[in-house]
Amino acid sequence: MTAIAAEGAAAAAAAARLSAFDRQARIVELVTRRGFVDIDTLVRHFGVTPQTIRRDLNQLGAEGRLARYHGGAGLPSSVENVDYAARQVLHPAEKQRIARRAASLIPDRASLFINIGTTTEAVASELVRHQGLRVITNNLNVATILSRRTDFEIIIAGGHVRNRDGGIVGEATVDLIDQFRVDYGIIGISGIDLDGTMLDYDYREVRVAQAIVRNARRVLLVADHSKFGREAMVRMGSLTQLAAVVTDRQPAERIRTLLAQAGVQLLIADETGDAASGSQAPPPLP
């Protein structure tokens, strides 16, 4: 065996030992660089079976991180999000862990904004264990979840109701949020670029999220691992504007460095490190 062949075999063997999560992250990187990668190329690159690559591509396609085509995968759409019904069943265990971790940061009798998203809805489900919260939301699903508690005060922002997900957007929504100054903002996002830019698909939804960032003393982003590196066309802001990012896995080193330099807490809600929600004193936020 030549030195070049040996080196190639060693690289393939190393790729074959990757976890599914790491392999999928590298697949996304390859597609981002090349625009399209076929299944045969991925099989050779990672030293795994075509069935394994197809499963990877199907999962990445369901998450909206890639566009699945016959024979391979290409760049995802930056103008259209995954359907709400599909997002509801993506990464439910991860979202639950993120929700518990985020809820543990919110003390009883706090005031907060909560915006649109399946992860923020999971946070709302955890917050029902709290007492005396005051919540302003543009998410009908969040309002319904929190209305179980008779000691909560819930204000629903007016505006245009999106039938597909119960989100409320528009100028009236922004105007109402601008009337308040609250302790915490809990926001979700559709994508996070590697330079730390938070991205979404709906300009009106972004305007509401920007208003939340302006009017909350501390802003927590709740986002599972699939949001990092995902593309969308509307710029919402930067991770550096936040107090904390709550996710389920370590993001890329570039993101970790950016957060550290900006003094933004990175909180990983893994399977062994969940924080209990409730009225315990939360970890300090900047």
Q: Are strands 72-74 and 111-114 parallel, antiparallel or unpaired?
A: unpaired
> Residue 15 has what pLDDT?
52
Split at pLDDT 50, 70, 90, the class of 131 is very high
Kindly state the percentage of the chain with pLDDT values over 90. Answer: 57
> Residue 277 has what pLDDT?
37
Mean predicted lDDT score pLDDT of the chain: 85
Split at pLDDT 50, 70, 90, the class of 4 is very low
> Residue 272 has what pLDDT?
55
Mean pLDDT of 203-210: 95
Split at pLDDT 50, 70, 90, the class of 216 is very high
Residue with the bigger pLDDT between 12 and 281: it is: 12
Classify burial at 33, counting beta carbons within 10 Å of its beta carbon; exposed 0-12, middle 13-18, buried 19 or more. Answer: exposed
Mean pLDDT of 88-110: 87
Q: Which residues pair with 187 in a beta bridge?
A: 221
> Residue 66 has what pLDDT?
78
Mean pLDDT of 121-125: 96
137 contacts 116 by C-beta, under 8 angstroms: no
Residue with the bigger pLDDT between 58 and 173: it is: 173
Mean pLDDT of 33-54: 88
Which of 36-40, 168-172, 173-177 is least confident? 36-40
pLDDT at 192 over 80: yes
Split at pLDDT 50, 70, 90, the class of 120 is very high
Domain ranges of the chain: 3-74, 85-268
Mean pLDDT of 195-202: 93
Which of 6-10, 62-66, 68-72, 206-210 is least confident? 6-10
Q: What is the CATH number of domain 3-74?
A: 1.10.10.10
Mean pLDDT of 61-88: 66
Residue 102 φ then ψ, to 5°? -65, -45
Mean pLDDT of 169-177: 96
pLDDT at 159 over 80: yes
Which of 68-82, 114-128, 169-183, 238-252 is least confident? 68-82
> Residue 91 has what pLDDT?
65
How much is the pTM? 0.70
> Residue 185 has what pLDDT?
98
Mean pLDDT of 206-229: 94
Q: What is the CATH number of domain 85-268?
A: 3.40.50.1360
Residue with the bigger pLDDT between 153 and 225: it is: 153
